[in-house]
Amino acid sequence: MTTRKLSAYRFAICIDNAEYPAALETHKIYRVLMDKEAEREGDLRVVDESGEDYLYPAEYFVLVDLPRGTVRALSKSFTRGFQQAG
Protein backbone atom coordinates (compact mmCIF):
# COMPACT_ATOMS: atom_id res chain seq x y z
CA MET A 1 0.00 0.00 0.00
CA THR A 2 1.37 3.40 -0.91
CA THR A 3 1.66 6.14 1.67
CA ARG A 4 -0.49 9.21 1.05
CA LYS A 5 -0.85 12.51 2.79
CA LEU A 6 -3.94 12.73 4.98
CA SER A 7 -5.23 15.56 2.79
CA ALA A 8 -5.43 13.06 -0.09
CA TYR A 9 -8.08 11.09 1.77
CA ARG A 10 -11.65 12.10 1.05
CA PHE A 11 -14.84 10.77 2.51
CA ALA A 12 -18.48 10.80 1.48
CA ILE A 13 -21.81 9.81 2.99
CA CYS A 14 -24.05 7.59 0.89
CA ILE A 15 -27.49 9.13 0.42
CA ASP A 16 -28.89 6.72 -2.20
CA ASN A 17 -28.25 3.00 -2.64
CA ALA A 18 -31.39 2.12 -4.63
CA GLU A 19 -29.47 0.49 -7.50
CA TYR A 20 -26.72 -1.03 -5.31
CA PRO A 21 -28.26 -2.17 -2.00
CA ALA A 22 -25.73 -4.99 -1.51
CA ALA A 23 -22.73 -2.75 -2.18
CA LEU A 24 -23.72 0.49 -0.42
CA GLU A 25 -25.46 1.40 2.83
CA THR A 26 -27.28 4.72 3.13
CA HIS A 27 -26.00 7.12 5.77
CA LYS A 28 -22.63 5.35 5.94
CA ILE A 29 -19.27 7.06 5.44
CA TYR A 30 -17.19 5.71 2.56
CA ARG A 31 -13.62 6.41 1.50
CA VAL A 32 -13.38 8.14 -1.87
CA LEU A 33 -10.31 7.62 -4.04
CA MET A 34 -9.04 10.32 -6.37
CA ASP A 35 -10.10 9.71 -9.96
CA LYS A 36 -10.28 12.93 -11.97
CA GLU A 37 -11.55 11.21 -15.12
CA ALA A 38 -14.42 9.55 -13.24
CA GLU A 39 -15.34 12.85 -11.60
CA ARG A 40 -15.46 14.56 -15.00
CA GLU A 41 -17.95 11.86 -16.01
CA GLY A 42 -20.08 12.48 -12.90
CA ASP A 43 -18.87 9.46 -10.91
CA LEU A 44 -16.91 8.84 -7.72
CA ARG A 45 -14.48 5.99 -7.10
CA VAL A 46 -15.65 4.60 -3.75
CA VAL A 47 -14.38 1.74 -1.59
CA ASP A 48 -17.66 -0.10 -1.03
CA GLU A 49 -18.84 -2.97 1.19
CA SER A 50 -16.72 -5.47 -0.77
CA GLY A 51 -13.58 -3.60 0.27
CA GLU A 52 -12.81 -2.90 -3.39
CA ASP A 53 -13.13 0.41 -5.21
CA TYR A 54 -15.81 0.87 -7.84
CA LEU A 55 -17.35 3.77 -9.72
CA TYR A 56 -20.73 5.03 -8.54
CA PRO A 57 -22.79 8.06 -9.56
CA ALA A 58 -21.56 11.09 -7.59
CA GLU A 59 -25.19 12.00 -6.90
CA TYR A 60 -25.41 8.97 -4.59
CA PHE A 61 -23.02 10.68 -2.16
CA VAL A 62 -22.37 13.88 -0.29
CA LEU A 63 -18.68 14.67 0.06
CA VAL A 64 -17.85 15.73 3.61
CA ASP A 65 -15.08 17.84 5.07
CA LEU A 66 -14.03 16.23 8.32
CA PRO A 67 -11.74 17.52 11.06
CA ARG A 68 -8.10 16.44 10.65
CA GLY A 69 -8.26 14.17 13.71
CA THR A 70 -11.31 12.40 12.32
CA VAL A 71 -9.64 11.91 8.93
CA ARG A 72 -6.58 10.48 10.72
CA ALA A 73 -8.71 8.08 12.78
CA LEU A 74 -10.75 6.92 9.77
CA SER A 75 -7.62 6.49 7.66
CA LYS A 76 -6.02 4.29 10.34
CA SER A 77 -9.25 2.32 10.66
CA PHE A 78 -9.41 1.65 6.92
CA THR A 79 -5.74 0.64 6.90
CA ARG A 80 -6.27 -1.86 9.75
CA GLY A 81 -9.28 -3.31 7.93
CA PHE A 82 -7.22 -3.90 4.79
CA GLN A 83 -4.37 -5.49 6.75
CA GLN A 84 -6.76 -7.88 8.53
CA ALA A 85 -8.47 -8.84 5.28
CA GLY A 86 -5.16 -9.56 3.51
Query: Would 3 be classed as within a structural domain?
Result: no
Asked whether the predicted pLDDT for residue 4 surpasses 60, the reply is: no
pTM confidence score: 0.79
Instruction: Give residue 63's domain range.
Output: 8-85
Query: Would 17 be classed as within a structural domain?
Result: yes
Cα separation values, 7 from 25, 36, 84, Å: 25, 16, 24
Query: Would 34 be classed as within a structural domain?
Result: yes
Read off the CATH number of the domain in which 59 is found. 2.30.30.40
Q: In 21-60, where does DSSP find H-type helix?
A: 36-40
Query: Would 2 be classed as within a structural domain?
Result: no
Q: Which amino acid is at 4?
A: R
Query: Would 36 be classed as within a structural domain?
Result: yes
Q: What's the total number of domains in the chain? A: 1
Per residue in 13-31, pLDDT tens?
A: 999 999 999 999 999 999 9
